[in-house]
Structure 1
Amino acid sequence: MRDFRDAKAMAQTLRESLTTKAVTISHSESLELVSRMLGVADWNTLSAMLQTGRRDTLVPIARPISSTAVYPAVPLRDFVPFPGATFPLFVGRENTVLALNHAFEGEREMVCAIQRDATVDEPQFADLCEIGVLVQLVELERLQDGSIRVLTRVLRRVALRSFAAQSSGYRSEASELPEGAPVDSPELIRRAIQRFEDYAATHGLLVPDIWLFFDQTHDVGRIADTMAMRMKLPIKDKYELLALLDPVKRLEKIDGLLDVSSRPFGAAYAATRRRALALADQRRHQFATLEHLLLALTEDGDAAPILQACNADLGVLRQNLTDYLDKELAHTVIETGTAAPTVAFRRVDRRAALHAQEVGNPAVTGTNALVALFPETRSPAARLLAEQGVSRWRVDKAIVRNAGEDKR
């Protein structure tokens, strides 16, 4: 790709192709998708890479490792990168700065090694994990405080054979760790992606646009690494995923981490959920919606105090929800049968279980369900919460504040 015109032409072609299939995206969205297709984090990053090329310092194509090679190296204290990711790297240690300068004078390739203990300032080989990554340095920026910011793209996993400080900075001998040909596992991919989308919504993460193309690539390893890079996990767990070379086993492990099907509803929330279904049945509604659930949560022993801590007027909120259910859902009345939870209701159930797992609750509570409501931004329930000034940020603060008071 020569310059911005090539990238933008590619984006225009993508938009036109999707339009013929009744899929409409904006110009900016097409630029972001093209960036993901080229393995770059976003359009700004791709722009920087192309701009770098205009200055005749285009990043060279990564050279394959025939067996073992020696590279400039950087130890990472509290971060585990995965192949395919593009991220900013901030460095300030003398040996790391020397290694970066050496890398930019050469092939712009570098080994990133993960420290076992982040408190070690001058790590030796024994202080590092066995598996690291080979990265390509895209752009370097020297900051006013003397540190350096480097835009970095991860190429592949490597096994560290040595690591030491030399006159040119840290150096590491590393060998390639081939993963073999991509393996197709459609059922595992489908299940893991669905669970990750719930996880991303719970944590306010952006689901990568490259998701649109995963049903075409079916690359288990790539999907697993994309998820692992974005999941909020302890460094130990992240490294275990990096070191797990079998792509199917890696995605299976991630799928297991995302599986909350065994997380039970607590007694109080189970009663709240039954009350939500009963509210729908009393009105003979065909479906139990998020508004039925939120109305039930206003009387939940865990969720109601959080709403009050956010200065919500529960009386007004209940009245607004009741008016909505009685007036706006009148067309959903059925003669016989019981109300079934909507798809959105079930999504909230899954996200609530995931939130319970994240905060260490043995069972799902009404508070978990309240948190899980916010990603449903188009729902009247979310709108009515916003009218009361209740946001995810305020709920999170109220939860932390209440937890602190409980410990006193």
Structure 2
Amino acid sequence: MRDFRDAKAMAQTLRESLTNKAVTISHSESLELVSRMLGVADWNTLSALLHAERRDTIAPITNLKTTTAFYPAIPLRDLVPFPNATYPLFVGRERTVQALNQAFEGGREIVVAIQREAAVDDPQFSDVYEIGLLAQLLELETLGDGTLRVLTRGLRRVALRSFAAESAAYQAEVADVSEGATRDARDLIRRIYQRFQDYTATLGILVPDIWLFFDQTRDPGQIADTVATRMKLSISDKYELLATLDPMKRLERIDALLDVPQRPVSANYAATKRQALDHAGRRRHQYATLEHFLLALIEDAEASAVMRACDADLASLRQGLAQYLDNELKHTVTEVGSAEPTAAFRRVDQRAALHAQEVGYAAVTGANALVALFAETRSPAARLLADHGVSRGRADKTIGRGVG
């Protein structure tokens, strides 16, 4: 087994197989069953074991410098920063605040450590990844709720030798790491340039500065870090990029992550897309629109679970969609041919794959497609969802809780 995502994929397959046999279990129950099948007491234990195994495989620390230094340190729950990028950080934990104060009183340099699990409130050395970032503090602002907003700029990767609370503040001992020599990668850089243009266009990401950067540098490591900063990825995927020290290997992994059409699609979601085309075909509509898509998502197990968790009245939503399709799209009725997906339909399908990648799903599901639909703000489908209380923010929080 490669890592915990494989275990999650096994749990999803088990759940779908049982559903086909009229046995319904929750996602958490399927995770517990898979854990016991693998001889482990529960999912939390299995996840911890797999994380520990990944520690030895995905981020070997090579070319470690022998000299070390101590710095104030801050743990991050939900962000992986990269060198040469500027980040605003929002800090509330007392030991983190104390570490920032120490850094501002000294050389304004601080070590950023990435937590393995966001739920840990008082992380120790075993709770953070081995590769972190030495960062420079630029600005500090105290917010109305007592938390701090600090602007930082990433300087370079470091390897953590220790991480602990010292005198009420976090402190880390770190060693510099060598990232190796850069090599010519013009063909790979050219392909990434094109793929990243398609990626940002699909997700609607505005990156006006990056194209000039591509023209000015041919350094594989810098290009990989600059692209990684702007990609929407899970914390584990972003950390793998941070921990990949060889610039060429890092660039090759970026290339693979940008190749999103290869991401597998769940059986439920594949059936949902066919159902959307069927909704258009039965009405003899020339095009399959987002409204046909949303009508199919109402019957999709994962998407409908998210909508119900957002308190949507699915019967009322279904009725509104049917009325729109039967009354507003009469002008698209045709006597010949099958329904063709609209450009918006295809964009949502592409975004769904990117969202699955971002949240770490092993396969694309209807829940990913539901989230991807919100970007089409001018569509009647998005407006109908809003009318029924389903928003991007609520959907994201629901998925974050494991629904769908």
Calculate the TM-score normalised by the size of structure 1: 0.59
Larger mean CA deviation between 223-232 and 143-152 belongs to 143-152
Match of 1:175 in 2: 176
d(CA) in 1 for partners of 2:96, 2:275: 62
d(CA) in 2 for partners of 1:340, 1:248: 41
- Equivalences for residues 87-236 of structure 1 within 5 A: 87-88=88-89, 90=91, 97=98, 100-101=100-101, 103-114=103-114, 129-141=129-141, 149-159=149-159, 170=171, 172=173, 174-175=175-176, 177-178=178-179, 180=181, 183-184=185-186, 185-192=189-196, 194-195=198-199, 207-211=206-210, 213=212, 216-217=215-216, 220-226=220-226, 228-229=228-229, 231-234=232-235
Match of 1:316 in 2: 320
User: What are the Cα deviations for residues 20-46 of structure 1, in whole angstroms up to 9, with x where unaligned?
Assistant: xxxxxxxxxxxxxxxxxxxxxxxxxxx
d(CA) in 1 for partners of 2:199, 2:217: 17
Match of 1:73 in 2: 72
User: What are the Cα deviations for residues 360-381 of structure 1, in whole angstroms up to 9, with x where unaligned?
Assistant: 8776554443333222112233
Q: 1:72, 1:100 within 8 Å by CA — same for their partners in 2?
A: no
- 1:347 CA displacement: 2.1
User: What are the Cα deviations for residues 47-95 of structure 1, in whole angstroms up to 9, with x where unaligned?
Assistant: xxxxxxxxxxxxxxxxxxx996846331425353211132226376669
SS for the counterpart of 1:377 is: coil
Matched to 2:112, the amino acid is C
Task: Choose the corresponding residue for 2:330, options 326, 332, 343.
Answer: 326
SS for the counterpart of 1:86 is: strand
- Equivalences for residues 45-60 of structure 1 within 5 A: none
Matched to 2:312, the amino acid is C
Gap change, CA 1:387 and 1:151, over 3 Å in 2 = closer
Q: 1:73, 1:96 within 8 Å by CA — same for their partners in 2?
A: no
The runs of 5 or more residues in structure 1 that have no matched partner are 1-65
Gap change, CA 1:340 and 1:213, over 3 Å in 2 = farther
Q: 1:85, 1:153 within 8 Å by CA — same for their partners in 2?
A: yes
d(CA) in 2 for partners of 1:290, 1:391: 16
Q: 2:291, 2:325 within 8 Å by CA — same for their partners in 1?
A: yes
Calculate the TM-score normalised by the size of structure 2: 0.60
d(CA) in 2 for partners of 1:302, 1:173: 44
Larger mean CA deviation between 377-386 and 206-215 belongs to 206-215
Matched to 2:209, the amino acid is I
Q: 1:263, 1:363 within 8 Å by CA — same for their partners in 2?
A: yes
- 1:344 CA displacement: 2.1
Matched to 1:139, the amino acid is E
Matching of residue 241 in structure 1 with residue 246 in structure 2: no
- 1:211 CA displacement: 4.6
d(CA) in 2 for partners of 1:298, 1:141: 45
**CA RMSD across the alignment:** 4.8
SS for the counterpart of 2:112 is: strand
d(CA) in 1 for partners of 2:379, 2:140: 44
- 1:263 CA displacement: 1.4
Match of 2:290 in 1: 290
d(CA) in 2 for partners of 1:143, 1:69: 35
- 1:154 CA displacement: 1.0
User: What are the Cα deviations for residues 147-196 of structure 1, in whole angstroms up to 9, with x where unaligned?
Assistant: 76532211222345777888998474543645655844221343355446
- 1:247 CA displacement: 3.2
Q: 1:80, 1:238 within 8 Å by CA — same for their partners in 2?
A: yes
Gap change, CA 1:171 and 1:245, over 3 Å in 2 = closer
Match of 2:369 in 1: 369
- 1:244 CA displacement: 0.7
User: What are the Cα deviations for residues 235-271 of structure 1, in whole angstroms up to 9, with x where unaligned?
Assistant: x5543321212334224334545635241352x5444
Question: How many residues are matched?
Answer: 326
% identical equivalent positions: 49
Matched to 1:310, the amino acid is A
- Equivalences for residues 2-41 of structure 1 within 5 A: none
The runs of 5 or more residues in structure 2 that have no matched partner are 1-64
Gap change, CA 1:347 and 1:223, over 3 Å in 2 = farther
- 1:138 CA displacement: 0.9
Matched to 1:293, the amino acid is F
